[in-house]
Structure 1
Amino acid sequence: MKLMIVEDEQRARRGLKNIILSISQEDEIVAEAANGRSALELIKTVKPDAVFTDIKMPFMDGLTLIKEVRKLGMDTKFVIISAYEEFEYARQAITCGVSEYLVKPLIMEDIRKALDAVRDRGEQDNCKVSLSECYPEVHPIILKALRKIENEYSTPVNQKDMANDLGISPEYFSGLFSKNMGESFVHFLRNYRIEIAKSLYLHSDIPREEVPFKVGFVDEKYYNRVFKNATGMSVGEYIRENRR
């Protein structure tokens, strides 16, 4: 993978780089930055697969950096590094689709797990359907919503937050989405998640029991009901029927 490190402390930046390179010979550090503003410009140029970023930095903090990258429609993976084990930071990180949230001081095992999580997310992305390519003629607002779904389907996405992010009322968004897509936002998102799950079962090494949570469900029993309603089969039946 092509990796990037964003950290305002040079010693911490160097230390993280050394740990990553000692863990994996497959990964390459393609860029480093000392603040979010510089990082944003570098990300546009080098297009890393994943970025390890601090939260507290001059000019632009890590969470703002992630939001700006998401606005560009890029599916860059992010690992947050923070000295703050606070709920609000973690909540915002989850909303932004962050792969991992690490608290300083870092240890090698934490970084190893973070790299594994990023690779898992890469497998998920390989199984994604490109919604923006499937529905190029929809209203521009809905096209933005589809891109956000592509990037954030594994997080607690909901209609109200989506509408707020798009700068419109939930009621207007609901009607516009249904008019353009022929179904409600909730139903569309649920089906999209199931389609990704089906692909993960057949084309990834992600353990079967982890798939529901990788695609944004928080209740496995509910997920199993939704999956069976969508496919007419249980997860086990689907895998046996389709994995040859």
Structure 2
Amino acid sequence: MIDLYFSPTPNGLKIRLFLEETGLPYRIVPVRLSAGEQFAPAFLAISPNNKIPAIVDPAPRDGGASVPVFESGAILLYLAEKTGQLLPTDGRARLEALQWLFWQVAGLGPMAGQAGYFRVYAPEPLPQAIERYTREVSRLYGVLERRLEGRTYLAGEAYSIADIACYPWVVPHAAHGQRLADLPNVRRWFERIAARPATLRVYDGVEDGYAKPRALSAEARQVLFQQGTAGAEAKR
């Protein structure tokens, strides 16, 4: 059984989506980010970047000792190769899926995260930052819109880890300043994934992380957004 070190962020939800889609047995190990549990020595031994998600696979394909994996893109790729699911085996289709997986990891996720922070979580509005990141997320949505023209999913007709990686970052599109009504291809893709049974199970009961951001205590805000090396060392 896979141990999933989890908090219901977009990156954490990616891995739950994969596990629910494939039926791979897993156990959730909650990590309370606002309490600083990501800095615990036991967790840092699995995820040295003090971020969720992370997994521990007690039954790797090589038959050896348990394998820890951190970084959501690496976890998706590892699990896809372990199960033989949700990643095309054809060389070109596989390459397409991997390119869009890395596109999300390098672009959509970081930029949407910055847009969300400056639009919703920052203690005071910074118009230049809000405009910069909202505009960049809009550009990335435009890339997604063009890619989905005439395609069911990002790598073609088959649902893959590329779609799983991107979907949770599109869920909070309104908080990131985006309108799916203006993006018919993205909207169709989004609604198709939202209706999948695995998606419905994963998102059942998941709260909108942008709904009440001002309720964060000063300590929780410090841990979540201003951790830095000194903060990480203090939690060890």
Tell me whether the two structures share a fold, i.e. TM-score over 0.5.
no
Give 1 or 2 for the bigger CA radius of gyration. 1
| Greater RCO, 1 or 2 (C-alpha within 8 Å, sep 6+) | 2
TM-score by length of 1: 0.29
TM-score by length of 2: 0.29
